[in-house]
Structure 1
Amino acid sequence: MYKIGNIYGITAIAVVGGGLFGFDISSMSAIIGTQQYLCYFNQGPHGPGFDDDPKCSGPRANVQGGITASMPGGSFVGALFSGFLSDKLGRKTAIQWGCVIWCIGSIIVCASQNIGMLIVGRFINGLAVGICSAQVPVYVSELAPPSKRGRVVGAQQWAITWGILIMFYISYGCSYISGVGAFRVPWGLQMLPAVGLYIGLMFLPESPRWLAKHDRWEECHDVLTLVHGKGDPDAPFVRLELREIKQMIEFENRNADVTWTELFRPKMLNRLHIGVFTQIWSQLTGMNVMMYYITYVFGMAGLSGDLNLIASSIQYVINVGMTIFALVYIDRWGRRGPLVIGALLMATWMYANAGLMATYGSPAPPGGVNNVAEESWQISGPPARAVIACTYLFVASYAPTWGPVSWIYPPELFPLRVRGKAVAITTASNWIFNFALSYFVPPAFVNIQWKVYVIFGVFCTAMAIHSFFVFPETSGKTLEDIEDMFLHGVPAWKTRVEFQTSRRVEGGAVDDTEKSVDHRESESPERVENVQEKKT
């Protein structure tokens, strides 16, 4: 069967797995404010079931939190399980299983007759998102040449933003369908990307490192030839990669007794703490809350109906556009700069929204704004437009900073022998906090109203301080450099992006380029000795 060898073509197909998360976010955010959804899953005084009563208030705040949180709850489980599935079946096959699970969950969600069935379907969808979000970055990073690895892993976040945008407009269009079709159609259509991804993966090669780990060396060599050698099995870069993979496997075999406990030993615990908090802080920015519940936020600002949905969609366009800057410049910017600056900017917009809401806002009438109870605070006029503007600026600050860096940064922190286990833990921490926030934010909007913005502003301030003093720079450094940096305890604020001219052999040609992150999949003593010999 024909196999795609271009790394950008491989990435374009594979990151659809990350896009599934985006489809889920916007299919919920665009639907939870529609009258059709509110009436069908109504728990208000008029009882459940679909009707045309404009007073339908939909699920209670804590129940809506449970509906939304069921997906990240499933993703937490899926992320933890994905490492085992990927090691046994292969990176590509694990992602394909994620596609199958996604379709099963989407069928249940689409056919939901009650809230319980909806929660079960979303939990199953979450299992698929957990598997794909953890394994797609691993898959593309193990296929990409070092100089392109940061860019292709960052494409995961861009795919998420595209998924959010596309599914939002589909859901918006379907909101004009009368009756239950308004939400059943988009929930059914979200199966199509998973079907396309499953088929597309048939035309992609397996990870050469996974093949080598299972002693399938001939296939490993064929994949390297396809992706890096342009059909030439004796291309210099192919030989180099194959040699380093062999060194990696030999090193792993000598350290086959590595267990989960190694991550919690003194020399590794600091790195685990940094990787876990990178993912935790990315959730505590409040970005996914803005994505899930943006219609509530804009409802407080006086927007309703089509105007609310259109205004909400603008932030998704901003999200897609601003993420491009990270894909182009992330290796120049490094990691620390975007994390610290992004956190400070997001804190600014959160505090601004809190100040505007507190100064110019007032409690909503009984039943909330537009009969949505979660909109328990209201603001109007120019201050309301300022709230909307600050929300857009918040998204524009997150998209090129914490969004992509939170996926790129953790795998760079760990040595090979524990990287798979470590990334599974960091990704799972992302999803468990996503679960918690998705569940508690709707009641928070009801109970503490505008003070929700203060909480997230404090989180953003804390993450800026934490990033500055604790998170070291990894961009421009080899894995050996990073290992040495941690072993010698170099203060995070004294690390910097390193660019140095080196003659690299990639794609069968010698190229003089600036050295970006060298993610060589090897840390064997033999390689270190070889490098030292070459330098001398």
Structure 2
Amino acid sequence: MGRSLRARVTNNVYMIGGFAAIAGIMFGFDIGSNSGVIGTTQYREYFDNPSDLLQGGINGALSAGCFVGALFAGFPADRYSRKFTLIAASILFVIGSVFQAAANGVPLLCVGRVLNGLSVGVTSMVVPLYQSEIAPKEIRGRIVAVQQWSITWGIMISFWIQYGAQFTDSTAAFRIPWGVQAVPAIVLLSGMWAFPHSPRWLADKGRMDEAIQVLAEIHGEGDVHHPRVQMEIQEIEAVIKFDKEQASHRYADIFKPQYTYRAFLGIVLQIWQQLTGMNIIMFYVVLLFEQAGVGDSQESTLVSSGINYVVNVVMTVPAILWVDKWGRRNTMIFGALAMSMFLWVVGGLMSQGEWYIAENGKWMMNIEDKNKSKGMVACVYLFVASFACTWGPLGWIYPAEIFPLRIRAIAVSLSTSANWLFNWILNFVVPMLMQRIRFGLYMLFAGFNFLMAVHVFIAYPETKGYTVSSQHAMWTLEEMDIVFEQNPRKKVDRAFVEAELARRTGLDHKEGSIEKTENIV
């Protein structure tokens, strides 16, 4: 009760998760600024009207860096901590943003985007990992969902910054948005020092006293003797001891039979998130609306595109508030089916337009019936809304909570790198596909969304937990290992999980042994 204001702020679980999520704003800033910049006259003239292939390469430079960053982020996250890895990635992002803002040609621009990508790849893997290990089980999904919300805020804010900058009749039209990207990275770099390490990382490194203190601060009002703190630290310590006695502690463990299924779920889920088509809409919505003849000027097209980003921000809020009540599995199935339906309509309406080759040699479309044009725009907005409250946050939540501590970092790293690999592929080919198959592109992604709904229904277990007691609605990260050792595609009895965890750790985990936590939720 006597803790200082600073301690209350830096040890509040919402503040910790929210501040770490500033890394998402960094990624969002890049998407929002670049998606608008590529549609401006200043950008096209300065970089000599990049071809579809070159533009795909410029956009894909970020995703290529993200793939490498995410793939190798597991080692520093385990070795040097989640916290210090985020700080190092922030420094890298500042350097990359400076390079982009100072670009005198495509080569330096791509170098800056690769550096930013390396940073985003690291943070996109480490932030959900850090958040999931800090958060109480009851609100784990909510805290990790803030990462996606911060991405949407970054996209929206930077897009409107870019919208204002386009009215400058100089290269500042794109240098200002690219330079402003460094601001959230500087904030994260400066402030992250004040926040705690992951208690599970500290415990895994044998720094148990520090782990207890962190848990006391974030879950027990500073009281190390708080029942919840004592139960949680004993559970973590006992599970780590069990792991070290019964299993190895190598990254190669991820290829063992009991973990390959989980690795498959995490990797494919991240691939599916890309194949929803959402990031393509985010990157190329300006080109989409331009191709479809939405708006009668560059400014009106950009405004229509900007509304897209506002929808993305607003519709992520329901997921933050209720994802821990909705569960993971049904939310993903519903979201995939809704996105599939709206993309089918977008493709169908675009197929009704009159296609022609413009003076710049690119396919453009004219829809005489403006109601069809408005319907297409509305379905794009509804598609974005469907993604924002389902697959947007779930793509980060699910992989971060299904692996045991000893391989969690490398497993999440592999899952996230798969996301960025497909992001790079799509960014590279989509500008060409927009010209070659035109409206068929949206029907292709509609098909992907339907397939992912089927796949989730068949293969993905619910990780929210099963119980009628609200304070025990979630599995802890330690219990999740036992859940997956059973048949995870069927309902797993909580009493069995508690008994098995008690057998392994020697602790009593019966319901009611930990104080209720409504004050946290």
Question: Do the structures match in fold with TM over 0.5?
Answer: yes
Match of 2:442 in 1: 453
Unaligned stretches of 5+ residues in structure 1: 43-57, 503-517
Q: Is the CA contact (8 Å cut-off) linking 1:65 and 1:440 kept in structure 2?
A: yes
Match of 1:203 in 2: 194
Match of 2:399 in 1: 410
Shift in CA distance, 433/168, structure 1 to aligned 2, threshold 3 Å: same
The whole-number CA distance in structure 2 between the counterparts of 1:282 and 1:88 is 29
Q: 1:126 aligns to what SS in structure 2?
A: helix
Shift in CA distance, 446/468, structure 1 to aligned 2, threshold 3 Å: same
Q: How big is the shift at 1:488?
A: 4.1
Q: 2:73 aligns to what SS in structure 1?
A: helix
Match of 2:347 in 1: 354
Q: Pick from 52, 65, 68: which aligns with 1:74?
A: 65
For residues 193-232 of structure 1, the aligned pairs below 5 Å read: 193-232=184-223
Shift in CA distance, 200/446, structure 1 to aligned 2, threshold 3 Å: same
Q: How big is the shift at 1:210?
A: 1.9
Aligned residue identity for 1:205: P
Match of 1:30 in 2: 36
Q: Pick from 303, 314, 320: which aligns with 2:307?
A: 314
Q: How big is the shift at 1:114?
A: 0.7
Match of 1:509 in 2: none
Q: Pick from 382, 388, 394: which aligns with 2:371?
A: 382
Aligned residue identity for 1:476: G
Q: Pick from 416, 423, 426: which aligns with 1:434?
A: 423
Q: Pick from 173, 179, 196: which aligns with 1:188?
A: 179
For residues 18-167 of structure 1, the aligned pairs below 5 Å read: 18-42=24-48, 58-167=49-158
Q: Is the CA contact (8 Å cut-off) linking 1:36 and 1:182 kept in structure 2?
A: yes
Shift in CA distance, 156/201, structure 1 to aligned 2, threshold 3 Å: same
Q: 1:363 aligns to what SS in structure 2?
A: strand
The whole-number CA distance in structure 2 between the counterparts of 1:488 and 1:140 is 26
Match of 2:472 in 1: none
The whole-number CA distance in structure 1 between the counterparts of 2:43 and 2:311 is 27
The whole-number CA distance in structure 2 between the counterparts of 1:202 and 1:419 is 23
Q: Is the CA contact (8 Å cut-off) linking 2:145 and 2:393 kept in structure 1?
A: yes
Match of 2:517 in 1: none
Could you tell me the percent identity over the aligned residues? Answer: 41
Q: How big is the shift at 1:533?
A: 11
Aligned residue identity for 2:427: S
Q: How big is the shift at 1:155?
A: 0.7
The whole-number CA distance in structure 1 between the counterparts of 2:322 and 2:43 is 41
Match of 1:179 in 2: 170
Q: How big is the shift at 1:218?
A: 2.7
Q: How big is the shift at 1:466?
A: 0.8
For residues 364-379 of structure 1, the aligned pairs below 5 Å read: 364-367=357-360, 373=362, 376-379=364-367
Aligned residue identity for 1:385: K
Aligned residue identity for 1:305: Q
Aligned residue identity for 1:6: N
The whole-number CA distance in structure 1 between the counterparts of 2:226 and 2:40 is 58
Please, what TM-score do these two structures have when normalized by structure 2? 0.89
For residues 482-493 of structure 1, the aligned pairs below 5 Å read: 482-483=480-481, 486-489=484-487, 492=489
Unaligned stretches of 5+ residues in structure 2: 467-474, 514-521
For the aligned residue pairs, the C-alpha RMSD in angstroms reads: 2.4
Tell me the number of residue pairs that the alignment of Structure 1 and Structure 2 aligns.
493
Shift in CA distance, 524/132, structure 1 to aligned 2, threshold 3 Å: farther
Aligned residue identity for 2:367: I
Aligned residue identity for 1:61: D
Aligned residue identity for 2:174: F
Match of 2:323 in 1: 330
Match of 1:17 in 2: 23
The whole-number CA distance in structure 2 between the counterparts of 1:20 and 1:331 is 26
The whole-number CA distance in structure 1 between the counterparts of 2:478 and 2:110 is 45
1:229-274 CA distance string (max 9 Å, x none):
2122222222222212221332343256344443333333222221
The whole-number CA distance in structure 1 between the counterparts of 2:442 and 2:358 is 21
Q: Is the CA contact (8 Å cut-off) linking 2:482 and 2:501 kept in structure 1?
A: no
The whole-number CA distance in structure 2 between the counterparts of 1:97 and 1:207 is 16
Shift in CA distance, 488/6, structure 1 to aligned 2, threshold 3 Å: closer
1:446-478 CA distance string (max 9 Å, x none):
111111111111111111111111111111253
Please, what TM-score do these two structures have when normalized by structure 1? 0.87
Aligned residue identity for 1:443: M
The whole-number CA distance in structure 2 between the counterparts of 1:107 and 1:316 is 25
Q: Is the CA contact (8 Å cut-off) linking 2:62 and 2:116 kept in structure 1?
A: yes
Q: Pick from 360, 380, 383: which aligns with 1:394?
A: 383
The whole-number CA distance in structure 1 between the counterparts of 2:179 and 2:502 is 49
Q: 2:509 aligns to what SS in structure 1?
A: helix
Match of 1:52 in 2: none
Q: 1:275 aligns to what SS in structure 2?
A: helix
The whole-number CA distance in structure 2 between the counterparts of 1:485 and 1:214 is 25
Q: 1:530 aligns to what SS in structure 2?
A: coil
For residues 159-308 of structure 1, the aligned pairs below 5 Å read: 159-254=150-245, 257-302=248-293, 303=295, 304-308=297-301
Match of 1:463 in 2: 452
Q: 1:362 aligns to what SS in structure 2?
A: strand
